[in-house]
Amino acid sequence: MRIAFISDIHGSFTALEAVLNDIKKQKVDQIICLGDTVSLGPQPREVLDALHEIKSINIKGNHDGAILEPEKAAQYEITEHLIPDLYWGRDRLSKADFDFMNSFVETHSLTFPNGIQLLAFHGSPLSTTHLIQATTDSALLDAYFANQTASVLIGGHSHIQMQRRYGEKLILNSGSVGNAFVFAFSPGNPPRLLPWAEYAILEQVGSSFSVDLRRVYFDIPKFVKVVKESDLPGKEWWVRQYYGSF
Ligand SMILES: [Fe+2]
């Protein structure tokens, strides 16, 4: 069984399209999206249309929560200066898009044919805003994963790919499709983007289980053209990430 995990697309359909093309060649059985689908980027509708088409299992991220309930943006830990982009994305969605996003689930469990149990989530099984990194303190991990029977735990949110074995558990992050960070975000330390998309494929065949943290290069000039031609409030930020200036 082969499962692809995509996360933190953030409205970049150009990056998502490149990832989906790569996934097609990888012949997976299922795609699971770990959240943060549409906010911040210039192509929210295209992203949702694509997710619809691929019939992915969709988990709700904190940005998805904020798109659905913008009055709770602070609770979803959306930084103040991103609020105009949040509303810009919301304004582009139809009633059917909102219905689709309302169907996103908090977590998803699956069992591989050999009995390995997996739990997928956005931040942690307890909250879309919990940040799990390679350096996260073990006491926090114990709290986030208390009473979890799954031995493979996979999330998004940090925008940084990770494979961390923790006791008998394997904690994974598939990285970000549209917003792969150079370094972890922290207050006063604004994120910088890498010029590629990230995702993961997990496979169990017979007695083997493997993790493939993948990187896909996408058409940045094509994406920047879409950004520049949009009236997205944060468009200068996007262009600076890839070209250094607007
Ligand atoms: Fe995100």
Taking only the tens place, the pLDDT of each residue in 196-223 is: 999 999 999 999 999 999 999 999 999 9
- Structural domain boundaries of the chain? 2-243
Query: Distance from the CA of 36 to the center of ligand 1, in angstroms?
Result: 5
- For residue 189, give the 3-state DSSP assignment: strand
Task: Give the model's pLDDT for residue 239.
Answer: 96
Taking only the tens place, the pLDDT of each residue in 29-80 is: 999 999 999 999 999 999 999 999 999 999 999 999 999 999 999 999 999 9
Q: Is 175 exposed, middle or buried (0-12, 13-18, 19+ CB in 10 A)?
A: buried
**CATH assignment of 2-243, among 3.60.21.10, 2.40.50.140, 3.30.450.80, 3.40.718.10:** 3.60.21.10
Query: Distance from the CA of 32 to the center of ligand 1, in angstroms?
Result: 15
Task: Output the six-digit token pair for 198.
Answer: 């990230």
DSSP E strands in the chain: the ranges are 2-6, 30-33, 57-58, 108-111, 117-120, 152-155, 162-166, 169-173, 197-205, 208-216
Rounded to whole angstroms, the Cα distance separating 174 from 120 reads: 11
Share of the chain above pLDDT 70, in %: 100
**pLDDT surpassing 90 at residue 125:** yes
Distance of CA 10 to the CA centre of its chain: 8
pTM: predicted TM-score of the whole model, two decimal places: 0.97
Neighbours of 76 (CB within 10 A): 21
Amino acid identity, residue 143?
Answer: A
Query: Distance from the CA of 24 to the center of ligand 1, in angstroms?
Result: 24
Query: Distance from the CA of 189 to the center of ligand 1, in angstroms?
Result: 16
Residues near 190 by Cβ (< 8 Å), separated by ≥ 6? none
Query: Distance from the CA of 117 to the center of ligand 1, in angstroms?
Result: 25
